[in-house]
Amino acid sequence: MTARGESLGLAFSDEDLLEFLGRAGLPDAEDLLDDPAWVKWRGADAHHYEAA
């Protein structure tokens, strides 16, 4: 995951992603996971974390 051009880590679950978003200053980020203006999912559908 990247935020503001900085790599924050690799998410393996929505919980990981929420932790990273919280560290980036978005503590109430759960509602943002499905908002494409905030979260861009790459390599798979939203909420899928299987290895490529």
Under 8 Å between Cβ of 42 and 26: no
| pLDDT tens-digit series, residues 32-52 | 889 888 888 888 889 998 765
Strand ranges for 5-44 from DSSP E: 6-7
Rg value, the chain, Cα? 10
Q: What is the rounded CA–CA span in Å between residue 48 and residue 38?
A: 17
Mean pLDDT of the chain: 85
Report the pLDDT value the prediction gives residue 38, as an integer from 0 to 100.
84
Q: What is the rounded CA–CA span in Å between residue 45 and residue 6?
A: 23
Report the pLDDT value the prediction gives residue 51, as an integer from 0 to 100.
66
**Helices (H), ranges, 1-52:** 14-23
Give the whole-number percent of the chain exceeding pLDDT 70: 96
The residue written with tokens 């990273």 in the block is: 20
